[in-house]
Amino acid sequence: MIAWGLFWILVALSVRSFWWGLKRADRLYQFPTLFGAAWLFYIVPQAFGALSNPSKFPPQVLHDGGMELALLMSIICVQAGWLGYHSRAWKRRGLLPSPKRRAHSHRRLFHAAVLLYVVGFYFQYKLAVLTGGFVAQFTGGGHYGLVWSGLPVRYVFFGQLIYPGLLFALLSFLNRPSAVRGITVALFSVYPLLTVIFLGRRSTLVFIILVILLSLYFMRRWTPPRWTAIAGGVFVFVAIVIMPQYRTITQYGIDMEQIREIQVRSEVADVFSGTGYAEFDSFIVRAAAVQQDLNFGLGSSFYNAVVSMLVPRQIVGGDVKEALMIRIGFDEDSLWKRYGWVMPYGSNPTGPANAFTEFWYFGALFYYFAAIIVRRIWEGALQKENHGMQIWYVMISILIPTAVVGSIFILPGRLITLYLFLTPMLIYASRRRLLTYRGLPIPPEQKEKLAE
């Protein structure tokens, strides 16, 4: 009964956060809406399934209160994100990032877009070569046959530059439409769409949707009808559920007959009935184990993820990289030793589970401070032509739901990577403001030159 009571509190808080965004069109892309959608359309169905079928857990997990611990932590995380976003802390001076406006040249934004995409696509090509080429990568199962260490990791690291390249190009096109820029945006969209169609990349699908919608909002202040947010949430939920099965088919080519055989209703029903495994199950087992051992990582997992992502083994050597790691806190083997349970291969713990294993219930503060930073970037992005903040907001918008449905340990490394690559491009694209000299107006030809 206690677990069901906690569940309905979680539902109420998730609905409140999502409904807040539906009440006004300008709230659709803000933190509470995206945050609430992740809880409502991802965590809540899985939690309902876990409560409906508790027999799938080892009895000792339920005895140790894993269900109640996971639900209570989820409630605290949702509320922490809500309070952080609605606090006034984002207005404090000296808080980074600074929302200071800096004008940018759309011509240079386009140049930066081409550079980012060309570099990123080159490394995507190098990755495809390891699988036998693009055809083998997308239709021969080659992508999932790679061993993800060494060269593949390095190529993926730089290959991600195609996504900010697509964003730069789209913003430049929406502000200064032209045939060349339009064709460029279309060409830049091909590879990301192929990864969605053939590799079933759920995060890429969400990113493409957010890039288009946020770019239209910042450039044209256009928002879709609010009912589409609900339909979109349901669509993404269904896509997440069926994508693993879809991926096993399409990685060897598009077979429409097999795709039609996917039992969508059955797959969705399995989530709500708790028949199969769901990521929230891992949270329940982990919460029980951590509560019993009281062995916390205290932030070491964030540090280790940064080292793993940014320190190249090929340069420093495996021994040096391993020596940089901090081995404290939660141990995956403890799940088997205590409960005889192992997380299925390919699955990832959720963000709240990561926060709990690192700092117990205090880990919810991660969402509180993240919401403050996101609010600060959002307010800066609303300034006219503040393309720097707009680009930053679009790039981190995908991280908002990721912080709920995926690991939060990788987020610092991703942000550092984005900073290293985006900052030089934004500096290059920046231009001086229109200035007057002793009150005299700027000549028209100078205005046109600065506006390019």
Domain ranges of the chain: 1-97+278-367, 106-260+384-400
CB 10 within 8 Å of CB 44: yes
Phi-psi region of 176 (alpha: psi -120 to 50; beta: other; left: phi over 0): beta
CA distance 386 to 398: 20
Three-state secondary-structure class, residue 430 = strand
pLDDT, residue 95, reads 65
**Looking at the predicted structure, is the pLDDT value of residue 435 above 50?**
no
Residue tagged 């195609």 (tokens): 162
Is residue 451's pLDDT more than 50? Answer: no
Q: At what angle do helices 106-131 and 179-199 cross, to 10 degrees?
A: 30
d(CA 428, CA 298): 39
**Is 265 exposed, middle or buried, given 0-12, 13-18 or 19+ CB atoms closer than 10 A?**
exposed
Half-sphere exposure of 313 (CA within 13 A, CB side): 14
Tokens coding 347: 């699955």
Residues 68/6, Cβ–Cβ less than 8 Å: yes
State the burial class of residue 137 (Cβ atoms within 10 Å of its Cβ: 0-12, 13-18, 19+): buried
436 alpha-carbon distance from chain centroid: 43
Looking only at Cα atoms, what is the longest distance across the chain?
A: 80
d(CA 164, CA 148): 23
Q: Are 75 and 357 in contact (CB under 8 A)?
A: no
* CA angle in degrees (0–180, nearest 5) for 9-78-40: 70
Q: Tokens 């080659």 label which residue? A: 142
What predicted TM-score, i.e. pTM, was given to this entire model? Answer: 0.85
**Unique residue bearing structure tokens 């391993």:** 322
Residue with the two structure tokens 């790039």: 395
The mean pLDDT value for 413-438 works out to 73
Q: What's the confidence (pLDDT) of residue 224?
A: 85
Neighbouring C-beta atoms of residue 109, cutoff 10 Å = 26
| Least confident span in 188-197, 212-221, 310-319, 349-358 | 310-319
The one-letter amino acid code at 88 reads R
Tell me, what's the pLDDT at 141?
61
Is the distance from CB of 404 to CB of 35 less than 8 angstroms? yes
Q: Would you state the pLDDT for residue 244?
A: 74
Please write the tens of the pLDDT for every residue from 299-328: 899 998 898 888 887 778 878 888 888 887
Q: Which of 11, 10, 62 is closest to 291 using CA atoms?
A: 62
pLDDT for position 89: 86
Provide the residue type at 70 as one letter. Answer: A
Q: Residue 8 corresponds to which tokens in the numbers above?
A: 């309905």
Q: What angle do CA 340, 243, 304 make, to 5 degrees?
A: 55
Tokens of 348: 């990832």
User: What pLDDT, on the 0 to 100 scale, is given for residue 432?
Assistant: 52
Q: Which residue did the predictor score with more confidence, 206 or 189?
A: 189
Query: What was the pLDDT predicted at 277?
Result: 87
Q: With a cut of 50, say whether residue 443 has pLDDT above it.
A: no
Q: What is the DSSP string of 362-399?
A: GGGHHHHHHHHHHHHHHHHHTSTT-HHHHHHHHHHHTH
Give yes or no for residue 134 having a pLDDT over 90.
Answer: no
Determine whether 22 is exposed, middle or buried from the number of CB atoms within 10 Å of its CB (0-12, 13-18, 19+): middle
